[in-house]
Amino acid sequence: MGQSMKEVRAALEKEREELARRASKVAANLRRERTPLGSDSEDAASVLQNDEVLDALDAEGRDRLARIDAALQRIDDGSYGVCADCGEAIAPARLEAAPESFRCVDCAELRAN
């Protein structure tokens, strides 16, 4: 049995809140609000390597937030569940697995190749 639009919206909004919290923590870490960069060059190098990981997590989180925002917009405008490329319905199983999907499986595979 598929989820109602209200359930989908609630799940997306919950995930959005969690991602926003994580993004805030990552940004604080990158600004060194809790642990300033020390004068020890070995420690500083380690911290800077961690910054690369944090940058990647931040970019991934921002991308996911954008996809969730777009899905919420599609719910609002009534186009949620309709493939942006071919206009066919997106399979309910796909939407349950990845509620931010905006392409059906066939169109997503075409884009991936």
**Residue ranges of domains in the chain:** 1-80, 81-113
Say if pTM beats, i.e. exceeds, 0.85: no
Token digits for 23?
Answer: 């993004």
H-only helix segments in 38-104: 41-77, 92-97
In angstroms, what is the C-alpha Rg of the chain? Answer: 19
Strands, E assignment, the chain = none
Q: What is the pLDDT of residue 33?
A: 54
pLDDT of residue 80: 97
pLDDT of residue 1: 45
Residues of the chain with pLDDT under 70: 1-2, 32-48
Q: What's the confidence (pLDDT) of residue 68?
A: 97
Predicted pLDDT at 27:
81
